[in-house]
Amino acid sequence: MTTSTTRVLALLEILQGGGTRTVADLAARLGVDERTVRRYAGHLLELGVPVESLRGRYGGYRLAPGHRMPPLMLTDEEALAVLLGLLVAQRTGPVTASGAASESAAAKLRRVLPKALGRRLEALLETADFTAPPRSAGAREAGLLLGLAEAARDRRPVALGYTDRRGRSSERTVWPYGLVAHGGRWYLTAAGPSAGPATDPSAGPATDPSTAPSAGPATDPSIDPSAGPVAGPAEVRTFRLDRVTGMRVLPGSFESPPDFDPVAAVLDSLAGAPWAHEVRVRVRAEEHHVRRHLPPGLATLSPLPPEDGADWTEVRLRAERLDWIPAVLAALDRPFVIDRPPELRTLVTSLADRLTMYATASAPEAPAPDDH
């Protein structure tokens, strides 16, 4: 590839970064004079690249708004980042499209890569594997994600069709605050009129709620009259996107609380989702130590006043089963006090007895050697 051609492609790569670039800036970055920059821009126009020339004091060159270039200018590292991103998202991330869509996107990218780079990336894709199985999703979820994102950005109310954990369908009007990806799923935080119980008791475990109220701010949004009346106080709730059956944008607008944190709202709702047992334990440890074993979305932590010069943390969580909690408490390796439920004390004692038995048991005798 000649030096001239290389610099023309370098100019294209700079312009693909977005914005307007002055001729002087481009000349300095390419190591040529301004007249040569104008000639390179003309070459791009001859190739069908929509380069716009802007006159004036702050003029220069830019690509036409909305123009999408094929990924011809990716470096090895950039191509690796894109392809691995597609693969990892399909395997472990919050999927918003079918596996076929991810595979076809990767195939299109590989077709326009240089052959040498394509062969190297193909070798990586053929030899790399993941412990997590691929997640399944349909293209419908991608459309919902984009539609809800626009509604949240534009502060537009939506009519939301939703199916809860028990398979019961309903439609409600909500004011979308934000979207959060967590644990391989997308969640919508939205405010809406309070209607009956705060949470369906069948919503699911703390890590997989159908819809749960947020422990965060439940500020009543300011609703434009054209959005319809608000029946009762507003309540912030969390919805799993894969359980949304449909949405349509309604007329009107709303104002969300300026300090609202969608991530905190989702994590609080996951940790507070109702289940069979409400667990409260006080641990003699700082909050950051406890958090390493009980991440957000699983437990809510609150610092307690120090006792005997030591920090204490209150742990609150909800669970359908208690059998996994004793092992977590043992992993903390700190003194603790179980406030509730009483049956958790029995499980912890049973685990301690088993560990003592395992640790003190004699090793089995080795079999006698065979003389024959």
Q: What single string gives the DSSP state of each residue in 216-273?
A: S-----EE-GGG----SSEEEEEEEGGGEEEEEEPS--EE--TT--HHHHHHHHHHT-
Q: Give the pLDDT band (50/70/90) at residue 203.
A: very low
Question: Of 31-40, 158-167, 275-284, which gets the smallest average pLDDT?
Answer: 158-167
Q: Is 117 within 8 Å of 76 (Cβ atoms)?
A: yes
- Predicted pLDDT at 176: 92
Q: Which residue would you say has higher pLDDT here, 135 or 276?
A: 276
- Predicted pLDDT at 212: 44
Neighbours of 55 (CB within 10 A): 7
Q: Give the pLDDT band (50/70/90) at residue 70.
A: low
- H or E stretch at 336: strand 336-340
- Predicted pLDDT at 66: 65
Side chain identity, residue 261: D
Specify which residues 54 forms β-bridges with. 60
How far is residue 258's CA from residue 358's CA, in Å, rounded to a whole number? 55
Phi-psi region of 297 (alpha: psi -120 to 50; beta: other; left: phi over 0): left
Q: Which residue would you say has higher pLDDT here, 114 or 281?
A: 281
- Predicted pLDDT at 134: 59
Q: Cβ contacts of residue 183 below 8 Å, gap of 6+? A: 207, 297
How far is residue 106's CA from residue 108's CA, in Å, rounded to a whole number? 5
Question: Of 28-32, 123-127, 315-319, 327-331, which gets the smallest average pLDDT?
Answer: 123-127
How far is residue 265's CA from residue 166's CA, in Å, rounded to a whole number? 23
Longest Cα separation, the chain: 100
Question: Of 28-32, 75-79, 133-137, which gets the smallest average pLDDT?
Answer: 133-137
Q: Give the pLDDT band (50/70/90) at residue 226.
A: very low
Side chain identity, residue 60: G
> In the structure encoding, which two tokens stand for residue 27, read together?
């000349």
Q: Give the pLDDT band (50/70/90) at residue 282.
A: very high
Q: Which residue would you say has higher pLDDT here, 320 or 209?
A: 320
- Please check the confidence at residue 329 and state whether its pLDDT lies above 60: yes
Q: Which residue would you say has higher pLDDT here, 320 or 325?
A: 325
Q: Give the pLDDT band (50/70/90) at residue 185.
A: confident
Question: Of 59-73, 149-163, 179-193, 305-319, which gets the smallest average pLDDT?
Answer: 59-73
How far is residue 119's CA from residue 79's CA, in Å, rounded to a whole number? 12
Side chain identity, residue 104: S
Q: Which residue would you say has higher pLDDT here, 226 or 151?
A: 151
Q: What Å distances lie between residue 148 and 112, 247, 261, CA to CA? A: 33, 8, 17
Q: What Å distances lie between residue 223 and 69, 147, 173, 219, 233, CA to CA? A: 41, 20, 12, 12, 12
Q: Give the pLDDT band (50/70/90) at residue 217.
A: very low
- Predicted pLDDT at 130: 67
How far is residue 188's CA from residue 145's CA, in Å, rounded to a whole number? 9
How far is residue 237's CA from residue 234's CA, in Å, rounded to a whole number? 10
211-213 vs 254-255, strand pairing mode: unpaired
Q: Which residue would you say has higher pLDDT here, 6 or 43?
A: 43
Question: Which letter does DSSP use for residue 312 in this model?
Answer: E
Q: Give the pLDDT band (50/70/90) at residue 199.
A: very low
- Most confident listed range (56-70, 107-121, 190-204, 290-304): 290-304
Write down the number of H helices and E strands in the chain: 11, 14
- Please check the confidence at residue 8 and state whether its pLDDT lies above 70: yes
Instruction: Give the mean pLDDT of 251-271.
Output: 83
How far is residue 291's CA from residue 336's CA, in Å, rounded to a whole number? 15
- Predicted pLDDT at 93: 56
Neighbours of 354 (CB within 10 A): 11
- Please check the confidence at residue 96 and state whether its pLDDT lies above 60: no
Q: Is 119 within 8 Å of 113 (Cβ atoms)?
A: no
- Predicted pLDDT at 215: 37
Q: Which residue would you say has higher pLDDT here, 117 or 177?
A: 177
- Most confident listed range (128-132, 256-260, 285-289): 285-289
